[in-house]
Amino acid sequence: MSLVVGIDSSTQSCTVEIRDQISGELIGRGQAPHPATHPPISEQNPIAWWDALVLAFDEACKQKIVNKNLITALAVDSQCHGLVTLDINCNPVRPAKLWNDTSSAKQSEELVANKSSAFWIDSVGSNLGPSFTITKIAWLRENEPENFEKTKKFLLPHDYLTFRLTGNFVTDRAGASCTGYYSPQKSKWNFDLLSLVDKDRNWTNQLPVVKNPNEIGGVITSEAAKVLGLSDSVIVGPGTGDQFASSLGLGISEGDVVFGLGTSGVIFTVTNTHITDKLGWFNGMADASGRFMPIAVTLNATKITDWAARILNCDLHELDKLALDSEVKSNNMTLVSYFDGERTPNYPYARGVLAGIDNDQSRENFARMSYEGVLLGLIKAFKHLTNLGITTNKRIIVTGGGARGSAYPQILSDLLGREVITLDVEESSARGACVLAAAIATKTPVADVAYKWSPKEKSIFKPKQKVDLALLLQKYEKLSNFREMDRVSN
């Protein structure tokens, strides 16, 4: 038996899975927390990610007393978009700015105004928002010029962890698509875009090498091998972003649509051709298997239902039950859940808006409103995805923390009037990282391994309550345009 390791370094924690290289059978899983973040300024020390990786790997190996000599390959996925800055000695210059750090909203607006939304969409497949790495680089140059000058390598989070494992500066085309200076269509860095941030810097040697999905990112260093207790012959994949790894872990194909409900809300599918969304709602990313992934991300998802549970002084299980016991009426409350600002649409200074409060409302209505407030924004994106001509008639899949209860998938089914499923997979991103590791270990196309390891259906949800979705979206649309309570920009 040979084993592979998948490492998922998310915003909140690091999860490590060890799987059989051929069958994909789970052998062990470990997890370790990351430091808490506090958006809209969201930062973490990259060294903490490495420390969590070591702890999570050790825990995974203890579950079944894993023979580490059987491990042949590993791969890392991590949160997308973030900015890691390394100095001449390859040490972090400052804490990494994460995907949900919106302090670069001003720089984002300036970069778009300097050209146009259409220019950025044509150049990199996406309209810029403050999550994109290029805006964080612009922020660094403007606000911390000394740190900007000290920086010799600009990396994504998974690039940093792959560097700690291999000593190589590499990335993948999917992760590179999250930066705002990589063309998914042309499969190369666009240094002219970075020149808009600093025209005097030589950017060509300050970015990682972009690898294809089945290319090896490197061989583990003797130092990393010693820390992890591995053979120094273990190979390492180029890694990817967490949403791209999740797609592999779920085994999705063209026509499937995934609603990912975690800290953020995500909706994505895979396509064989690049899609350009001129409105900029969907980012036209490359994926981790050689295809493309239209993806839209909202900043506020399960944190909203966590908030609702605190307000109602109940746990999430009771909140689920309350929401499902609510009777759907046309005068129920409406929530726009822009608590930490919003990315899709791009309202970085927004706050949440609640309307329709009267004496007829109940705890049940309040609970259901919190779920609908998360889902309606994603459903707007789903409808836009269909309008782009993308096939969306196959499976509707709910993943993430929101898939662990019944309320999110059931209410989504009610709202769409379609069957919704969850899959028998606990950690789709870590599983997807294992797919990447198995692909390079066996020299098999990534998509083939993902298909072979496709998880089975776990639960099926069919519509139970008739919902006037058009009316709900109409009310939601009016409230989402309410800007009078937005935060003051920096």
Which are the catalytic amino acids? 242
Query: What would the two tokens of residue 226 be?
Result: 């010693």
Q: Cα separation of 391 and 377, whole Å?
A: 20
Choose among 60, 101, 75, 69: nearest CA to 8.
75
Q: Cα separation of 184 and 284, whole Å?
A: 8
Q: Cα separation of 377 and 299, whole Å?
A: 10
Tell me the three-class secondary structure of 60-96, residue by residue: HHHHCCCCHHHEEEEEEEECCCCEEEECCCCCECCCE
Q: Cα separation of 155 and 26, whole Å?
A: 31
Q: Do residues 161 and 239 touch, judged by C-beta distance below 8 A? A: yes
Q: Cα separation of 257 and 259, whole Å?
A: 7
Q: Do residues 31 and 53 touch, judged by C-beta distance below 8 A? A: no
Query: What would the two tokens of residue 166 be?
Result: 């291999």
Q: Cα separation of 128 and 178, whole Å?
A: 10
Q: Cα separation of 361 and 378, whole Å?
A: 25
State the distance between the two ends of the chain, measured CA to CA, in whole angstroms.
Answer: 56
Query: Amino acid identity of 413?
Result: S
Choose among 7, 148, 10, 24: nearest CA to 425.
24
Query: What would the two tokens of residue 146 be?
Result: 């000394």
Tell me the three-class secondary structure of 174-240, residue by residue: HHHCCCCCEECCCCEECHHHHCCCCCCCCHHHCCCEEECCCCCCEECCHHHHHHHCCCCCCEECCCE
Q: 131's torsion region: left (phi>0), alpha (psi -120 to 50) or beta?
A: alpha
The residue written with tokens 């649309």 in the block is 477
Q: In 95-184, where do the E strands start and end?
A: 96-97, 153-155, 170-172, 182-183
Q: 109's torsion region: left (phi>0), alpha (psi -120 to 50) or beta?
A: alpha
Q: Cα separation of 50 and 433, whole Å?
A: 16
